[in-house]
Amino acid sequence: MTKRPSVAIVGAGRLGSTLLRELPRAGYRIIEVVARDRKESLQRLPDLSGPRKRIVSTYETAKLEAELIWFCVPDAEIVNAARLLARRTNWEGKKAFHSSGALGSAELGILRRNSAKVASVHPFMSFVLASKPSLGGVPFGLEGDAAAIVLARRIVKDLGGIAFLVPKAGKIAYHAWGSFASPLLVALLAAAEEVADLSGVSRELARKRMMPMILQTLANYEKLGPAAAFSGPIVRGDAGTVRAHINVLRKKPDAKEAYIALAKAAIRFLPARNKEQLKKAIRG
């Protein structure tokens, strides 16, 4: 069995915290965590208590003796973090990953020029402070140097994830796709809470009342696909109800705009009767 490389994580945020927990479970040894502020990192990463505190360093004190350096910093900081660390070690034979969904491996170009093999390795998953998702079953979008991709595929497999390649030119579209799948989905649900408020149901109670329908819809989508999972007045061609929806939503203009945009998408991409009447209802 091929020896697993040692790992240094740069960044103590949500993804860095997840990797700090999940990589050792998959048999990888994390020998350093590099952050701008050591004290803040120790507070944010409770797993680094006791003797493990010694592995935390800053950009100024980083040793970077690991075989893989994994950058888990915000997109706007990747280039600068790589620049700050470029001179702290010999990069010959090392691999470097970053985990931006929108940016390509070229963000680590200074390390590539110093003989490292680099890749973007992005988990197609939502990470928030109050949740600790497993990486098992998570897809990872990969782009970069061939040798770095080989290592990334192996690590993703060891984590229980699913690796797939993203063309360099497709990174922004890939990230926009992810935005539809999670943050914009949450934005849609927040808009739904606003509409529930119009009906006299509080936002807090609306979350509970929506969950059975949301979960069933997602289950139908996964099992049957979008067309078979689609229900409601648009699939029935009920232009009168759609018109009534839009009229009542005038009291919530942002929710109304979201409804119209989604209704247009539904008419275009999903089965619907009376499409011309529906389009007229949407135009007002």
- pLDDT value at position 47? 64
- pLDDT value at position 284? 75
DSSP per-residue letters across 19-66: HHHHHHHTTPPEEEEEES-HHHHHHH-GGG-GGGGGGEEETTT----S
Kindly report the CATH class assigned to 7-170: alpha beta
Alpha helices in 53-182 (DSSP H): 78-86, 109-113, 146-158, 171-181
Alpha helices in 87-162 (DSSP H): 109-113, 146-158
Give the torsion through C-alpha atoms of 94, 98, 99, 105, to 10 deg: -100
- pLDDT value at position 42? 61
- pLDDT value at position 193? 97
- pLDDT value at position 53? 62
DSSP state at residue 200: T
Other Cβ atoms within 10 Å of 127 Cβ, number: 17
> Where do the domains of the chain lie?
7-170, 182-283
- pLDDT value at position 130? 78
The backbone region for 121, taken as left when phi is positive above 0, alpha when psi lies in -120 to 50, beta otherwise, is beta
DSSP state at residue 130: T
d(CA 173, CA 170): 5
Long-range CB pairs of 88-91 (<8 Å, 24+ gap) are: 88/62, 88/63, 88/64, 89/63, 89/64, 89/65, 91/115, 91/116
Average pLDDT per 10 consecutive residues for the chain, totaling 284 residues: 88 88 94 81 62 78 96 96 96 97 98 98 91 91 98 98 97 97 97 96 96 98 98 97 97 96 97 96 89
- pLDDT value at position 44? 65
- pLDDT value at position 46? 59
The maximal CA–CA distance of the chain, rounded, in angstroms, is 69
d(CA 167, CA 131): 30
DSSP state at residue 263: H
